[in-house]
Amino acid sequence: MCGRYASTLPPEMMVELFKLMKSLDIIPRYNIAPTQPIAAIWEAHGRREAHFARWGLVPGWVKDPREFPLLINARVETMAEKPAFRDALKHGRCIIPASGYYEWHTNPDKTKQPYYITMEDGRPMALAGLYATWMGPNGEEIDSVATITVAANAQLSEVHDRMPAILRGNEIDDWLNVRDVRAREAHQLALPLEDGALKFHPVSTRVNSARDDDPGLIEPVTVERPEPVRKKAAGGQLDLF
């Protein structure tokens, strides 16, 4: 799953790269976490605009968002059938601009090492997402989003078994075009990137705390490989786990 990411694109670059009608007043972020407001892009009435939305999708039919589970990711394998995502796949497709994202690898000793993952060519990412607008009884509105995850490619499986769906080129246009591109067609766009399209390096465990948000979080660190976990085999001898 994708549970933290960084977005350091200047607003003017977002406008140019993603063909926006206007920009958002955003600042560089290095440790964006669920429930926080994030920048997401979708089309409405023929206009492509960036909006702030809560990371954690709340479907419009929910009665009380406080009692609804936190849905930060939608699995590509089931999103077309899940009630929480089904309508958004048809009418609420979006992208989330990112500079890179974090994933945690579980070591043999059960400790977890975070990695920062970026495009090999240094380009920004367009994470495929779904959005919904919840309207409360007093007229309040909450825009919210979830990112879409797919099975990791062979390269990324060294770190984790899932990865976000990342769109490029015309895929972005088709994904956002909910008027002409049907859900079934859009579904085929959410695929793992090919091996070699991404690169990754270990980073500080400071990223575990959402309170930390600075450029040092994305800097590579040197990590020691933990010793293999051993268990006693028959006869009292130690075998590799």
Question: Which sequence positions are flagged as catalytic?
Answer: 2, 103
Report how far residue 90's alpha carbon sits from residue 183's, in angstroms, rounded to the nearest whole number.
5
Residue 48 structure tokens: 């492509």
Contact, 206 vs 216, CB < 8 A? yes
Report the run of H or E that residue 17 belongs to, with start and end.
Answer: helix 11-18
Contact, 135 vs 60, CB < 8 A? yes
Report how far residue 117's alpha carbon sits from residue 100's, in angstroms, rounded to the nearest whole number.
5
Report how far residue 210's alpha carbon sits from residue 6's, in angstroms, rounded to the nearest whole number.
12
Residue 176: name the closest of 25, 58, 18, 59 by CA: 18
Tokens 């990865």, residue located: 163
Contact, 142 vs 133, CB < 8 A? yes
Contact, 23 vs 114, CB < 8 A? no
